[in-house]
Amino acid sequence: MTKEQANIRLGLIGTGNIGRTHLTAFLALREAGLLDLDITGICDIDEDSLQSAAELFDVDNVFTDYGELIAHEETDLVYICTPTNRHSDMVKAAARARKPLFCEKPLAHSAPQAGELLAVTNDAKVPAAVGLVLRYDQFFVYAKHLLENHDFGAPMMAHIRDDQRFPVDYIYYSKWRGNRSIAGGGTLIEHSIHDIDILRWFFGEVESLTATIGFYSGREVEDHASIIMKHTDGAVTTLDSVWHWVERPNERSVEFFFEKGYIGIRLESAKRYLDYHLQGRGPVRVWPETANNVLLKSLGFEENGLSPEASETLTSVGTERYAALDYAFLKSVQEKTAFSPDFRDAFAAHRIVDAAYNAADSKKWIDLT
């Protein structure tokens, strides 16, 4: 890494689960020589979390007031990793300070709120990225690569089933995820907004939808959502999203059908693979190693063009997806190039989420055109 390259000086707010995942990714990206960056400050209102993160990630400047972190002269770029109800004020403050920003998903509790944040960041002309991280999953990137390189024919239908153990305990242990005034909702907005984004990324804008949601746990947030979406290009996609109480790995099961081809993706911590089958050819199973090469290529690296440490950083389990997304976003800020997923993508996903909640309430099809 040459010294002429601009140093990326970033500050991060929220040293919980996902904040630490990004901090781990930043250090790994720096250690691997992929980015010349400094974590110049971190902020949390939980002082124990703040101090332990400062030690773990070797950060000198700590703040309990996010305004101070954003205003600090060494903060050039801001990561927002707090619970969802905190995003809005922090995004506005970073935009007011004219600092590029990354905000975790969901951006807000509703599409109008997300639209306001989009407008604020557009007005401030600051790059604004969102943590819709599945776009950096090696298998979804591989699926895009397949579609670009083979004739799958017209898109017909897709299905995603997303299941997770209710995240008030288990891996997240975050009581706020059961609280509507903080999380904004349950399995649909908090987790499956990722799947909505993926379906829109592959199948285009949604023309209309209907949905049903359930509240089996008796909490304020839904633990089941099923949606049928008609896309403007004619494809129909369905999403089933559930938070249950079974001790099993979180899993996503994905099936895309085209007139002349099929793509299936199984995402589960223990076993991850992609199957595809093109008309007239046998089925093919793709394991992470193969998909990783395509992900690295999409990030601008030729095969064998990276050290093993750098490849591992961008693709390994743990920081996987997040390191790739952080790399792509930070590079885009450095090079002043476009990045997605951005706040436009987040707003579009929020419009679909809002429409699904409205459809479930009204028991009707909702028009999104």
Ligand X SMILES: NC(=O)c1ccc[n+]([C@@H]2O[C@H](COP(=O)([O-])OP(=O)(O)OC[C@H]3O[C@@H](n4cnc5c(N)ncnc54)[C@H](O)[C@@H]3O)[C@@H](O)[C@H]2O)c1
Q: Judged by CB under 6 A, which stretch of 15-23, 54-62, 158-166, 348-356 contacts ligand X?
A: 15-23
Q: Does 332 bind ligand X (CB under 6 A)?
A: no
Please say which residue, 167 or 261, places its beta carbon nearer to ligand X: 167
Q: Does 104 bind ligand X (CB under 6 A)?
A: yes
- Rounded to a whole number of angstroms, the minimum distance from the CB of residue 152 to ligand X is 28
Residues 179-208 that bind ligand X (CB under 6 A): 190
- For residue 121, give both structure tokens: 């960041």
Q: Estimate the crossing angle of helix 87-96 against helix 111-124, to 10 degrees.
A: 10
- Rounded to a whole number of angstroms, the minimum distance from the CB of residue 177 to ligand X is 8
DSSP 240: E
User: Which residue among 11, 19, 100, 186 contacts ligand X (CB under 6 A)?
Assistant: 19
Q: Judged by CB under 6 A, which stretch of 11-19, 27-35, 71-79, 256-264 contacts ligand X?
A: 11-19
- Rounded to a whole number of angstroms, the minimum distance from the CB of residue 321 to ligand X is 8
The amino acid that residue 39 corresponds to is: I
Interface characters, 119-148, with ligand X (x: CB under 6 A): ------------x-x---------------
264: Cα within 13 Å, side-chain hemisphere: 7
Q: Which ranges constitute the DSSP H helices of 184-273?
A: 193-203
Q: Which ranges constitute the DSSP H helices of 299-342?
A: 308-315, 322-335
User: Which residue among 8, 13, 254, 328 contacts ligand X (CB under 6 A)?
Assistant: 13
- Rounded to a whole number of angstroms, the minimum distance from the CB of residue 236 to ligand X is 26
Please say which residue, 18 or 225, places its beta carbon nearer to ligand X: 18
293: Cα within 13 Å, side-chain hemisphere: 8
Q: Are 46 and 64 in contact (CB under 8 A)?
A: no
Cis before 167? omega within 30: no
Q: Judged by CB under 6 A, which stretch of 44-52, 111-119, 224-232, 242-250 contacts ligand X?
A: 44-52
User: Which residue among 8, 23, 28, 44 contacts ligand X (CB under 6 A)?
Assistant: 44
Instruction: Return the sign of the alpha-carbon dihedral for residues 122, 127, 128, 134.
Output: positive
DSSP 220: S
Nearest by Cα to 314 from 111, 154, 136, 190 = 136
Number of residues interacting with ligand X: please give it, by CB under 6 A. Answer: 25
- CA 68 – CA 75 distance, rounded (Å): 10
Interface characters, 246-285, with ligand X (x: CB under 6 A): ----------------------------------------
Q: Does 292 bind ligand X (CB under 6 A)?
A: no
Nearest by Cα to 289 from 267, 273, 307 = 273
- Rounded to a whole number of angstroms, the minimum distance from the CB of residue 131 to ligand X is 4
Please say which residue, 82 or 192, places its beta carbon nearer to ligand X: 82
- Rounded to a whole number of angstroms, the minimum distance from the CB of residue 83 to ligand X is 5
- CA 126 – CA 329 distance, rounded (Å): 13
Q: Does 14 bind ligand X (CB under 6 A)?
A: yes
User: Which residue among 22, 40, 41, 66 contacts ligand X (CB under 6 A)?
Assistant: 66
- Find all residues with CB under 8 Å of 279, minimum gap 6, and list them: 153, 260, 261
Nearest by Cα to 354 from 104, 115, 84 = 115
- CA 254 – CA 304 distance, rounded (Å): 30
Please say which residue, 14 or 115, places its beta carbon nearer to ligand X: 14
Cis before 288? omega within 30: no
Q: Does 174 bind ligand X (CB under 6 A)?
A: yes
Instruction: Return the sign of the alpha-carbon dihedral for residues 183, 187, 192, 193.
Output: negative
Q: Judged by CB under 6 A, which stretch of 32-40, 41-49, 117-125, 216-224 contacts ligand X?
A: 41-49
The residues binding ligand X (CB under 6 A) are 13-19, 43-46, 49, 66, 81-84, 86, 104-105, 131, 133, 172, 174, 190
